[in-house]
Amino acid sequence: MSTRAPFGRILTAMVTPFAADGSLDLEVARALASHLVAHGSEGLVVAGTTGECPTLTDRERRELVEAVVTAVAGSVPVIAGTGTYDTAHSIHLSREAIAAGADGLLVVTPYYSKPPAEGIYQHFAAIARAADDRPIVAYNIPQRVVVNMSPALLRRVGGIDNVVAVKQATTDLDQAKAIVEDGLLALYAGNDDLLVAFGAVGGVGGICVASHVAGEEMLAVVVACDAGDVEAAARLEAELLPLYEALSVTTNPIPVKAAVEQIGFAVGAPRLPLVPATTEERLVVAAALAARGIATHR
């Protein structure tokens, strides 16, 4: 594992398994976590966007963290998504995640209320103070939360002692370069297809979705970038692009849940307002898996 990547190089943003009745399925969560660690994931993120965090109760979040922490038994870091648009609630979720054994926290930019830069900074500072020195990943995803954390704001947030990394889910390479040049935050790609672009400018890896089914291959991309062989990394990425495209056929995590089901993990349907993949979408996902020689159980 790279020493400059505080949580590992490839972290999988885990889907949250649900049983047929819609309840949390912790047995499948534990099995999936173990599988991911065995296949390239050097860290796991639970209760993030891909984990359908808006539909999880506070109790379910804690139970999910506990289950995954138990399953990996310290072999990789477990990062809990605890950011919301309410600072007080985010602090509560962060304390619960820490009590459940989380190694770190993923805190998204506050959404819906569109706070100004000062409000965003104070939000992160308040959560960091309550985090018992656990490291925090700031999550900048303007296409979902509307607000973009500028390099200047990220520089300020990066001055908070235990904010150590950023999951940057925007294609703006100038922003990515500025983060690396500041040297305060480890830069993680927040989109699967940014691994090479960010790696070429000093990114440390990614918090990924396709790593549910291609973790070892995605880790190889980052290893090539770390070795300075961007051409090799780009060739590996080109082979993965059809899979990335298939897993973007509709809103995340609908396609990746279909993919994980197809490789044999009963993760169940998403909770409303998300819906299961259509027959056509499932076929797109299945074709991409088959093209990579991934065995399916359709």
**Any idea what the Cα angle at residue 198 is, between residues 196 and 202, rounded to 5°?**
110
Burial 105-115 (b: 16+ CB within 10 A, else e): bbbbbbbeeeb
pLDDT over 60 (residue 56): yes
Catalytic residue among 111, 139, 177, 244: 139
Contact (CB, 8 A) for 231 and 196: no
Q: Is the dihedral of CA 136, 141, 144, 149 positive or negative?
A: positive
- Which pTM was predicted? 0.96
Does residue 277 have a pLDDT over 90?
yes
Looking only at the bridges linking them, the beta strands covering 78-81 and 163-168 are: unpaired
Beta-ladder partners of 163: 136
For residues 181 and 89, give the distance between their C-alpha atoms in angstroms, rounded to a whole number: 33
**257 catalytic residue (yes or no):** no
139 is catalytic: yes
Check 85, 111, 167, 188 and give the catalytic one.
167
Does residue 122 surpass a pLDDT of 70? yes
Pairing of strands 186-189, 78-81: unpaired
pLDDT of residue 274: 98
Spatial separation of the C-alpha atoms in residues 68 and 44, rounded to whole Å = 9
- Name the pairing type of β-strands 43-46 and 104-108: unpaired
Upper half-sphere CA count for residue 194 (Cβ side, 13 Å) = 25
pLDDT at residue 298, as a whole number: 55
Q: If you search the block for the tokens 């898996």, which residue do you land on? A: 289
Q: Structural domains in the chain? A: 10-229 (3.20.20.70)
Question: What average pLDDT does range 186-210 have in this prediction?
Answer: 98
Average pLDDT value for residue range 207-220: 98
The CA R_g of the chain, rounded to the nearest whole Å, is: 18
Distance (Å, whole) CA 2 – CA 6: 8
Cβ pair 104, 72 in contact under 8 A: no
